[in-house]
Amino acid sequence: MNRRVTVIGGGISGLAAANHLRRIAPEIEVRLLEFGPRLGGVIQTTHKDGFLIEGAADNFMTTSPAAIQLCRDVGLGDDLIGTNPEGRGAMVLSRGRLEKIPEGFYVMAPSRLWPLLTTKILSPKGKLRSGCEVFVPRKRGQDDESLKSFVCRRFGTEMFERLVQPLVGGIYTADPNRLSVAATMPRFLDMEQKYGSLIRGMLNQRRSRQQPGEKSGGAQYSQFMTLRGGMSQLIKALEQSLPEGTVRINTPANFIVPSESGWSISSGAEDPRREASDAVIIAAPATQAARVLSTVDQDLSQLLGGIQYASCAVVSLAFRREQIGNDLQSFGFVVPAVEGHFILSCSFSSVKYGGRAPEGTVLMRVFIGGACQSGLLRLPNMQLLELAHWEVAKLLDIEGEPLMRHITRQRHAMPQYHVGHQNRIAKINQRLQWFPTLALAGNSLSSVGVPGCIESGQKAAERIVAAMRESSTVPMQVG
């Protein structure tokens, strides 16, 4: 007897879940419902005037094998490309000037002391306070702490404002006063408890094994890869890996209710219909998941509905190389909030990866908004395009108008892992224990990166298959 699993949400998490279901239990019928007119969620590659433009994630980390393996599984192994082998690293705006992030500085702690002591980013007083981190005692107690509190407690305010805040802001577009360090950077919490100091911990790890790409500061770009044709290549390949008729776009899931056979799903907009499914994976944003689950478990719905989101705008600009006075000896730069500018960061897309721009031109992406500058997103598109151009023209010594301009608004796209997030997720998982054939996936739970989303979708698929096998009187043949 065929059994059906319905996946709600056609972003990377939902597609990974559907693909994994077909891979580990091919006898299961999979149906994927997507609210919007296309698959991929925030991932969207646009080809315009010879430029390859990414509207959201333009790469993924390789420290987790999930994304690389999935690309290989769907036949894209030969299309994987790495960053420019010269490994240019990243820069930070410091008192109006772009400075190299110290070599070996990883997000919020240094693995090398000399580059930190010689950097122009920190004042002598700031360097002294940062170095005193080795004498700061471990925190006692298990209560959650904000990222700002954690970094300022260990390294001081200047290190936080000048280095950590802009780097973390570029990842989470969040307010560091509210961001949970346990939910975002647990590695450093563990390091504090094990070594009593992040500096000692980083130095110890560096001695025990040479970190790849360690000489570059900020993001470790040797640990990033992308696809030759853009991130949408993976979305298309995942869609093609599913049997015909699996995917339904423009089909919102209104709500689900338990039934004798499993679940009854109300789907469709103008003419809602009820469909039966043995199991459900919800891989939609937390706000949408909360609405769908409101008829199942009010506590679970409220927990999901309490996860907040931030928005941003991604402005892509292209220039001829001779228009740019800056030598662009990096993959991009981040902007600390204390600098008083209107952008979060700027990535040099065509410097970082090949095949992004025609010869003799440069493509860059400028990020605006986030939790701390959300008011800027009330500006119309034209003003945001002009604002991005005005900012990079000043900072990179650019003359003349762009060859190409493009804007993508990512509305409520970045979940905010506020203090207490891990406790919220623990309560969500506790509620899910009452529903073995219901699973959640997506970046609202534990990871904002592409590999984390893929892993969450695959784990959801494995949970569902295990539950269906357990409930079946005839053991399923799992491949």
105-123 residue pLDDT tens = 988 899 999 999 999 999 9
Element holding 82 (H helix, E strand): strand 80-82
| 29 neighbors 276 (Cβ within 8 angstroms) | no
pLDDT 10s digits, 35-94: 999 999 999 999 999 999 999 999 999 988 999 999 999 999 999 999 988 767 899 999
Superfamily (CATH) of domain 4-41+230-307+418-471: FAD/NAD(P)-binding domain (3.50.50.60)
Sorted by sequence, the CB contacts under 8 Å of residue 361 that are 6+ apart come out as 51, 318, 319, 320, 321, 350, 403
Calpha distance 284→440 (Å, rounded): 8
Residue 217: predicted pLDDT = 57
Q: What is the DSSP string of 268-331?
A: -SSS-EEEEESEEEE-S-HHHHHHHGGGT-HHHHHHHHT--EEEEEEEEEEEEGGGB-S---SS
| pLDDT over threshold 70, residue 219 | no
Calpha distance 160→148 (Å, rounded): 7
By CB neighbour count within 10 A (0-12 exposed, 13-18 middle, 19+ buried), where does 181 fall? buried
Task: Assign domain 102-212 to a CATH class.
Answer: mainly alpha
- Tokens for 216? 């570059």
- Tokens for 173? 């577009």
Average pLDDT over residues 449-463: 97
Q: Label residue 213 by pLDDT band (50, 70, 90).
A: very low
Rg (CA), the chain: 23
Domain borders along the chain are 4-41+230-307+418-471, 82-87+309-415, 102-212
pLDDT 10s digits, 58-69: 999 998 899 999
| pTM, 2 dp | 0.92
Superfamily (CATH) of domain 82-87+309-415: Protoporphyrinogen oxidase, mitochondrial; domain 2 (3.90.660.20)
Q: What angle do CA 106, 175, 108 make, to 5 degrees?
A: 15
Residue 474: predicted pLDDT = 37
Sorted by sequence, the CB contacts under 8 Å of residue 461 that are 6+ apart come out as 16, 17, 18, 20, 21, 24, 281, 439
Across the chain, mean pLDDT equals 92
Residue 143 sits at φ, ψ, to 5 deg, of -65, 145
Residue of 251, 249, 248, 253 whose CA lies nearest to 296:
253
Q: In terms of DSSP H, where are the helices of 307-441? A: 349-352, 381-396, 421-432
Name which of 159-173, 196-210, 465-479 the model is least confident about. Answer: 465-479
Calpha distance 238→391 (Å, rounded): 38
3-class DSSP state of 145: coil
Average pLDDT over residues 454-460: 97
| 169 neighbors 365 (Cβ within 8 angstroms) | no
Calpha distance 164→218 (Å, rounded): 9
Q: Count H helices, E strands: the chain? A: 17, 22
| pLDDT over threshold 80, residue 422 | yes
The percentage of residues in the chain with a pLDDT greater than 90, rounded to a whole number, is 84
| 359 neighbors 367 (Cβ within 8 angstroms) | no
